[in-house]
Amino acid sequence: MKVLEPKVQLFNWRILFLTCTVFIFTSCGGGNNTPLKPPVIQSSNLFYGVKATFFVGVTALNDGIQFSASNCSNLASVNSPNPLYLAYSCTVTKTGDLIFSAKEASGNEITSKTFTVPLPQVNMVTSLGTVVLELNPNLAPLSVNNFLQYVQDGFYTNVIFHRVIPNFVAQAGGFTTGMVTKAPTYAAINLESQNGLLNVKGSLAMARTSDPNSATSQFFVNLIDNAFLNYSSDASPGYTVFGRVLSGQDVIDKMATIPTATVNAYSDVPTSDITITSMLRTQ
């Protein structure tokens, strides 16, 4: 999945200095058999869906040493910009704990470090103010990946909230000013409504047609608890919640105070445009 790679500040390389350039349990000459301390392990770009890089403060390894990273796919050695450390890269597949570890050929773990991958966040700037959205890829990966792709592409710029119903939902993602349709650019995704996330006030969900597996670019924010939008049976499959409003719920609530009308046969259209001026992934 193509997503933004937020800029992060790399660690201070000075902490990587070791007096010996071999891995743990190798002596440093002079007849001294005291084991070396475990190497410093640091990370860069540790975000969901992004290629993260791990830096290990050694320049050589004993035979049979293997590295692994949980919740991170296709771990591989990459070129290191500094001779005092080794570099490994992989794509982060989940949020929460990510463990980077080293094991001997025997399976004995030599060292490990646990990192925390944060939930993705998106700043949605609207004509009424800014809303910060927090996404949950562990429970709704298809919906989150789909949404982030549209965000990355800039699809939502100048899109309006075209359907706002007080005490129900505020919906956007498919029209520009004048109720001009903006066609989705990716295939529809499968429903993920049985993920444990509920349509409560402030939750972010995928809009769809009567076909459960028809969600594309349109989404909505629940203005109240809408329990009837949750999955209840195959005959009433509900709507997928994939995130929540982290801050700016007052902006969402304000949307429901604007009068609405029917435009081009579409009802509940705000009479004053509520425009998304930008969407940017921030973590």
Q: For residue 267, which of 162, 170, 169 has the smallest C-alpha distance?
A: 162
Domain 121-281, architecture per CATH: Beta Barrel (2.40)
Domain parsing of the chain, residue ranges: 13-117, 121-281
pLDDT at residue 31, as a whole number: 44
Token pair 């921030």 is at which residue?
Answer: 282
pLDDT per position as a tens digit, 117-164:
999 999 999 999 999 999 999 999 999 999 999 999 999 999 999 999
| Range 110-123 average pLDDT | 96
Q: Residues 75-107: pLDDT tens digits?
A: 999 999 988 999 999 999 999 999 999 998 888
* HSE-up of residue 71 (Cα within 13 Å, Cβ side): 20
**H/E segment holding residue 145:** helix 141-153
Q: In whole numbers, what is the pLDDT of the chain averaged over residues?
A: 89
DSSP 205-270: EE---SSTT-B-S-EEEESS--GGGS--BTTB----EEEEEEE-HHHHHHHTTS-EEEETTEEEEE
CATH code of the region 13-117: 2.60.40
Q: For 229-254, how does the pLDDT look when each residue is reduced to its tens digit (9 = 90+)?
A: 999 999 999 999 999 999 999 999 99
Percent of the chain with pLDDT over 90: 79
Fold match between domain 13-117 and domain 121-281: no
Q: With cut-offs at 50, 70 and 90, classify the pLDDT of residue 70.
A: very high
